[in-house]
Structure 1
């Protein structure tokens, strides 16, 4: 199974890549803006340097892949980046997409935590929302992942929140998010056409514990 990772130097992406490389049935293609950031993986995966807003570069990178996992930061998750990826996937004939977004794009976080989340993310939320709308309105077989505020805890402990369900968990580990993404990569029929929130059970509150 050939899998493309777009935004391959992201913190969650780096964990996912360890899972992919350890799985001998998966052939990873790692796409990022500066390829020298992944010199430690040059013997384990195909590494391609390019711009995630460039349709031609994306198309060449994902040709022959069965699934694309896009892990772009807030500034990169503009409508331009989302549309470029949708167009590239059409051109390359790839249908399955995992797209990482954030909580709050549907105004699904209630109470004081929702107010805090909106204040902290502020200008980023419209960008995430715009990008997710483009993905959801495409004909791709997408899973949008909406993690809560992420920690570096060495644990896999998460629960899922469907679109339209109130999201109350204030945190989740990056390893948990990576484990869920890897699970979908290995089980691509699951959570198709779904926007899934991820949080750690028992962490409801007004804001994450470290703030």
Structure 2
């Protein structure tokens, strides 16, 4: 497949690029800064510079693909305003670009608990922005899968997760999130699903196959 990833220099995306290349896929990574390009090339992705906050129509950057993945985020150090312009508006721009380019498959990295915003003002805004992005994707008519990880860690991946609807809150290594996304992208049967993701006991391929049967 040809897969375009928005947020191509993010922590999860940088783990995902080599995994997708090993599976034989072509990967394009959308990045904000030219100086990030070499990192993507080393990871096996074709870098394309496009600031999704400043660009109204990102369809040229997205190009032709079999699937797109939204992995962008304003990041923990950003203020509330950028939660709207990146986490929500960027995701919506990718919906519009996918439709314009005839791309039917869209996978989203969201977050657990978006329907119940909590924490300080910035984190509540982040969850609200994610929820609005999720809603836009659910109503887009695209073949979507929304993956909602728990608290992200940089621990080594275990290869075992819990994946399903309305799970108890928990945490998960970014490496395991990337591994789940690689499986989901190859499994169109997961379209139409919104799934929580935390560390667990089920091997990742088995967990993804199990939820595919829920659709």
TM-score range, shorter chain: 0.7 to 0.9
Q: Are residues 1:66 and 2:75 paired? A: no
Distance between the aligned counterparts of 1:180 and 1:51, measured in 2? Answer: 27
Alignment of 1:112-131 (within 5 A): 118-119=118-119, 121-131=123-133
Alignment of 1:104-115 (within 5 A): 104-107=113-116
Instruction: Please identify runs of 4+ aligned residues in structure 1 that moved more than 4 A.
Output: none
Deviation of 1:94 (Å): 0.3
Residue number in structure 1 paired with 2:145 = 143
Distance between the aligned counterparts of 1:176 and 1:45, measured in 2? Answer: 19
Residue number in structure 2 paired with 1:39 = 38
Higher helix proportion (structure 1 or 2): 2
Deviation of 1:52 (Å): 2.2
- CA contact 1:6–1:71 (8 Å) conserved in 2: yes
Q: Are residues 1:160 and 2:163 paired? A: yes
Deviation of 1:194 (Å): 0.9
> Unaligned stretches of 5+ in structure 2?
75-82, 202-215
Distance between the aligned counterparts of 1:11 and 1:82, measured in 2? Answer: 17
- Please give the per-residue CA displacement for 1:95-147, whole angstroms capped at 9, x wherever unaligned: 1011111111123xxxxxxxxx7115322111111111111111111011100
> Unaligned stretches of 5+ in structure 1?
108-116, 203-211
User: Once superposed, what is the RMSD of the aligned Cα atoms?
Assistant: 1.8
Distance between the aligned counterparts of 2:39 and 2:63, measured in 1? Answer: 24
Q: How many residues align?
A: 186
Normalised by the size of structure 1, how large is the TM-score? Answer: 0.81
